[in-house]
Amino acid sequence: MSSFFGSLVTAMITPFNSKLEIDYQKVEELVDLLLRKGSDSLVVAGTTGESPVLSEKEKLTLFKVVSNASGGKVKVLAGAGSNNTQATLEFCQKAEKTGIDGLMLVAPYYNKPPQEGLYRHFSTIARSVSLPIMLYNIPGRTGVNLQVETTLRLAEIDNIVAIKEASGDLEQITAICDGAPDGFDVYSGDDSMTLPVLSAGGCGVVSIASHLAGLEIKQMIDDFFNGDIKKAVRMHQKLMPFFKALFITTNPIPLKAALNLSGMNVGEPRLPLIPLPEKMSKTLKEVLDRYTFN
């Protein structure tokens, strides 16, 4: 099947140096790694990229650096959403000028807008930019759920082309897949839900585990769509302990630790996130030691 952003989208971490400044050389190395790991698209400065603690200047620079480093081999999406509609609109217009290929817009958080407010928020932004947009529904972080009916209304807008669904509600995800117009793609927002979401009609995953297990996840997705369901299930089962280990505490704390343990030094997270505690680090290493990723 053909999807605008491909089947494997990686939500990139943001590497920091020892002073917790963005390490742009490491950013370029990470882009190269993710290309080799099978990513079709990259999300920059999203949740996993620690967007709340990045300045606007840092984000815009990141968009340019990743776009240049990717060399057009993958699509680059800017994490550009916030809970301020006008500020988001203005930032998206700036992001458009950096060479990115699309925007990811998270549902407004903290305000708890009603569904009509969510619709007007996203539709106002979409009609003010030309880039394709992936919606991002993650009620566990935002405090508001983008309901099926609202998502399907938004899917009728030409440049709203996809949603990252991290509600964990397979019934809701199935209903979106069933009701969405042609050309609107539904992605799992959780690595552990990838195979169930594919079975419900989804097209792929916005993954964090793909930093290490990208080729394995890509193979699982390909096997599913090629009809080798048993093989896809076996890979899903094999990777599940790894997926769970990456969420032993708040993302991206364990992911950064996993990359550091694997030899890709990406630094620690910025406050208010903290380095992975020693006990959790030991548990994570025990899980990682069970795997040999391609």
**Is 110 in the active site?**
no
The residue type at 7: S
What is the Cα–Cα distance from 108 to 283, expressed in whole angstroms?
Answer: 34
What is the Cα–Cα distance from 87 to 93, expressed in whole angstroms?
Answer: 10
Which pairing describes strands 160-165 and 41-44: parallel, antiparallel, or unpaired?
A: unpaired
Name the active-site residue from 59, 164, 218, 256: 164
**Is 136 in the active site?**
yes
* CB 26, CB 266: distance < 8 Å: yes
What is the Cα–Cα distance from 284 to 276, expressed in whole angstroms?
Answer: 10
**Which of 169, 175, 161, 216 has the alpha carbon at shortest distance from 188?**
169
> 270-277 contacts: CB < 8 A, separation 24 or more?
270/16, 270/20, 270/50, 270/53, 271/53, 272/53, 273/50, 273/53, 276/249, 277/249
Name the active-site residue from 26, 37, 119, 136: 136
What φ, ψ does residue 254 adopt, rounded to 5°? -65, -35
Going by C-beta distance under 8 Å and a sequence separation of 6 or more, which residues neighbour residue 82? 88, 91, 106, 108
What is the Cα–Cα distance from 181 to 190, expressed in whole angstroms?
Answer: 23
Residues with catalytic annotation?
136, 164
